[in-house]
Amino acid sequence: MLKLKIKARIWFLLGALACLSLLSMGAYFQLIQGLEPCPLCISQRLAILLTGIIFLVAGLHNPGPVGIKRYALLGTLSALFGASISTRHVWLQHLPPDQVPECSPGISFMLQNFPLFDTVKLMLNGTGDCAKIDWTLLGFSMPAWTLVAFLSLAALSLLQIWNSHNK
C-alpha cells in the first residue's frame, strides 16, 4: 500500500490557496456577475480572509509539532466561526417570508452613519437582504456552499494535529 506523506506546511498553504480561491469567486460574483453581497456575505468573506491568513502564516512559518497544533486550532476556530455565520445565513434563507427580518441600509451607509459596534452587530445578525437567494448550484445557495467550504477548511485544519503526530 502506497503511503503519501504530505507535510503540514503544504496542507496549510493549500488551505490558504483554497481561501484565496473562495475570495476570488466572491469577487467574481460581485464584480462580474453583479450580485451585491449582503451583510452576512461580507462577514463570511472576512472569516474566509482570517482563515486564509492563519493558513498562510502557518505555511510560511513552517512550525514544529507544537506550532502546528496551535495554528491548526486557530484555523479550526476561525473556520468554525465562519461556519456559524454561514449557518445563520442558510437559516435566514429558509425562514417563511413573514418571519424574515427587515432589510437594512447598505454597508457603506451603516459605516458612515452608525457606530462600528452597531454596524458589526447588524452585519452578523443579517437582514432581509440576506434571505434573498440570487444563485444556486445543485439546489444549494451560495451560503450553503460556503458552509461546506468552512467545514472542509475546519476539517483540513484539525487534521493537521493528527498530521503533526505522524511526522
Task: Provide block-wise average pLDDT over 10 residues at a time, the chain (167 residues).
Answer: 68 95 94 86 92 96 90 96 92 80 65 75 66 84 95 93 67
Q: What is the pLDDT of residue 70?
A: 94
Q: What is the pLDDT of residue 45?
A: 93
Q: What is the pLDDT of residue 2?
A: 44
pTM for the model: 0.81
Class of 8-165 in CATH: mainly alpha
Q: What is the pLDDT of residue 12?
A: 93
Q: What is the pLDDT of residue 107?
A: 66
Q: What is the pLDDT of residue 25?
A: 95
Closest CA to 127 of 96, 87, 84, 93: 93
Burial of 66: CB neighbours in 10 Å, binned 0-12, 13-18, 19+ = exposed
